[in-house]
Amino acid sequence: MSTSVAMSAGVRPRVSRPRNRVVRTGRIPGLGRIAFTRDPGEAELFSKHYLATKLRAIIREPDGRLVEEHDLGSGLVTNVGVLALANDWKVPGVSAAPANLFANLKFGAWGTGSTAAATTNIKLETPAAPNATEATEGIQTVTTNGEGKPKFVLTTKITAESSISITEFGVFTKKKLSSTTGTPLTAKSATSGTVTGTPLTASSTTVLGETLQILFATASENIWGLVTSNTTSVVTVPAWYKESNGTVLEPSATSAFTLRPIMFDRRVFTSIGVESGNTIEFPWELEIKSGG
């Protein structure tokens, strides 16, 4: 008896292409939002949000008597906000004062704009007095626990100078909401912009300079760049982005520009009316969650 066995084998790599495991969300009237994903990973809550914000508004009479309180719900952290957080390590350490993002995220401002908040927002739509040109400095606190949900809280108290209906609120890294050097750009690259003369305050290990701000260029397209360092005439940015949709686009070499603080979060809500002398206290919470 005779037998024969024919066998062959080969080893070839199997190409596995990563998929973008998106989270699809929907809203069911009377129930709320639901989400679905095919993500095979282990992150909690589909790893969709690791920064969760909440805003309240507490209205008081001039004598401090409580008028009403509103829970304005969850917020919308901006694209420029998370970009600043990701690039926080690039900002030079400043010996005179903390230079990191959260240490300087201590200003709030209100306005009367009604356009829905979007992640592409870089400024309030219509800042209103007393925040027409400057934000109000608030008080920062942190609540910590061992459950993986520490909260960074900024509480801003703004006093009305006249009867006004407030519809928007933003959180910023600097007091002045917009500043100009009076000169346009004279040159640009994919990661830099050069201004006329030497009007900028250079960043260093002792001076923040123009960091924790964006250079907002206005031309046929509104474009911004996050300032991570600068000399007296040149700003360095990770890239330039269109305000409208966040896609990469360089400004022209002669664009007019302003410097604006980073707006980390913008909220738009149903009108809250106040009289002159009334105060709205805005506790803004940022919860950073583990598990994502």
69-91 tens-digit pLDDT: 999 988 889 999 999 999 988 87
Using pLDDT thresholds of 50, 70 and 90, give the confidence band for residue 29: confident
pLDDT tens digits, 115-151: 999 999 999 999 999 999 999 999 999 988 777 788 9
| pLDDT confidence bin for 41, thresholds 50/70/90 | very low
Long-range pairs of 83-91 with CB within 8 A, sequence gap ≥ 24: 83/226, 83/238, 84/173, 84/212, 84/226, 84/262, 84/264, 87/226, 87/228, 87/238, 90/228, 90/229, 91/203, 91/208, 91/211, 91/212, 91/228, 91/229
- Residues 167-184, mean pLDDT to the nearest whole number: 93
For residue 47, is pLDDT > 50? no
Q: Rounded to the nearest 5°, which phi and psi values hold at 88?
A: -60, -30
What is the average pLDDT across 266-283?
95
Residue of 279, 284, 282 lying closest to 164 (CA atoms):
279
What are the C-alpha distances in Å from 121 to residues 15, 118, 188? 39, 6, 23
pLDDT at 40: 46
pLDDT score, position 183: 83
Choice among 44-48, 84-88, 94-98, 156-160 with the minimum mean pLDDT: 44-48
- Cβ proximity of 141 and 153 under 8 Å: yes
Closest by CA to 181, choosing from 162, 198, 205, 204, is: 198
The whole-chain average pLDDT of the chain stands at 86
pLDDT number for residue 96:
63
Overall average pLDDT of the 11-27 stretch:
57
With a cut of 50, say whether residue 56 has pLDDT above it.
Answer: yes
Distance CA 69, CA 233 (A): 47
Question: What per-residue confidence (pLDDT) applies to 48?
Answer: 46
261, β-bridge pairs: 213
Can you tell me which residue has the tokens 């009604």? 114
pLDDT in tens, 204-254: 888 889 999 999 998 788 999 999 999 999 999 999 999 999 999 999 999
